[in-house]
Structure 1
Amino acid sequence: MGDLNAKVGTDYTQWKQVIGQHGFGEANARGEKLLNFCAANDLVITNTMFKQTKSSRQWTWESPDQKTHNKIDYIMINSKWKTSIDNSRSFPSADVGSDHQLVIANLRLSFKTKARPNYPKRYDVQKLKDTITQNSYAVEIGGKFSPLLDDADTDVETLWEGIKTAFNETSKKVLGNRKAQHQDPWISEEVLQLSDERKQVKIEKCQIPPRELGIISSTEKLKGRLKDAKISGSKIYVKRWITHTKRQNPRRFMQLLRRSQGNRVSKCKQ
């Protein structure tokens, strides 16, 4: 904030919550109003807080005859960010075609890292597709359910806690927790297998002449199959994205849908 013709002076003892020990010149009436405004709004004037090696970095205005200098341009921030300022000064070398100088401040921010949410662990239910695992799970959960169902005097809350505990203990023991998948969405088992086949073909191509094994045609076939697998995987990923967007932000989904339909209509009219 500048060009207020407000000179805040050097009275650090009285205004130490607003200015630093390196003010400039004498305070005037407008300067006192600015000091009161800063004190009322918990602001500090940063370019009075740091000692400068050159006097030209202290003042912000110069008279046409270059004999009179004043500090009437300031950078003010909330006092809670006061310790984040490394330096604040005038910038005399900037050619801005004005009798005022630019005022700069070096700001260094350090934010607290936000704690990552503790998501509940998910059980690996895919293992239930295996018949042996299904039978093992049924036997385990049945043994835990029997005592609960036999007791007719059990109230609803106790029964629910017992069922929940039985499911969690059995799932943890038989299924285990599901491991996170770090692969790209389109990389399926088929794509990985095709990549290994192509790698093996390249190795054979370097060892034996291609004409003897027909490796060139095999490589081309693998390229085509790998491309088809990637396209198929990408389509699945797009479908998942559409489903997720439709659930999480239906308004945004409808906007995109109308826009795409509008584009199609305009093309048809042309």
Structure 2
Amino acid sequence: MDKPGNIYRNQIDFIMVNKRFKNSCTSVKTYPGADIGSNHVPLVGVFAVRLKNVNKKRVSLYDLRKLQEQVTKEKATRTINTKIQASEEKDIETEMTNLGQAVESVKKELLKPDGRKKKSWMTEEILNLMEERRINKGNESEYRRIQKIIRGKIREAKDKEMTMKCEEIEFFQSKYDEFNVGT
């Protein structure tokens, strides 16, 4: 405010900001000549706030590689066929919903992914060795011995998976099926 007879302008421009956002205030300016119906001065601030990235809900994935196993494949087809034949609906809409429900139930029962496996080549034997290695963490010589075994098994499993992929690609190429070569 102006004091009568003085040319000094005293201006108070404090901003109350939460402690969490105090460093997000990049610049603040006052506009004393603004024509507002008050003796206050407008204050304009620029704030750069980074908000939290909200993660999308993960869609549950199914392990479709289990369908390559003959036992699982037969079980899945048998369950889907029995559920389809059980419903004697003439309406196409209800038949489609029944088919969708049958497929979903098969996916939930038979194609659940193994929670511990991170890689496709990982076998149960390797996982058991890793657990044994974790138990022997204090015993350095035993830990190293198990680590060497694990490395060898991993190498074998990766080679085996690679040869299976190559054989599958060669099979599809021999049938001139370029669509399924990359899958």
Classify the TM-score, shorter chain: 0.3 to 0.5
Q: So what's the TM-score if we normalise by structure 1?
A: 0.31
**TM-score, normalization by structure 2:** 0.42
Tell me which structure has the larger Cα radius of gyration: 1
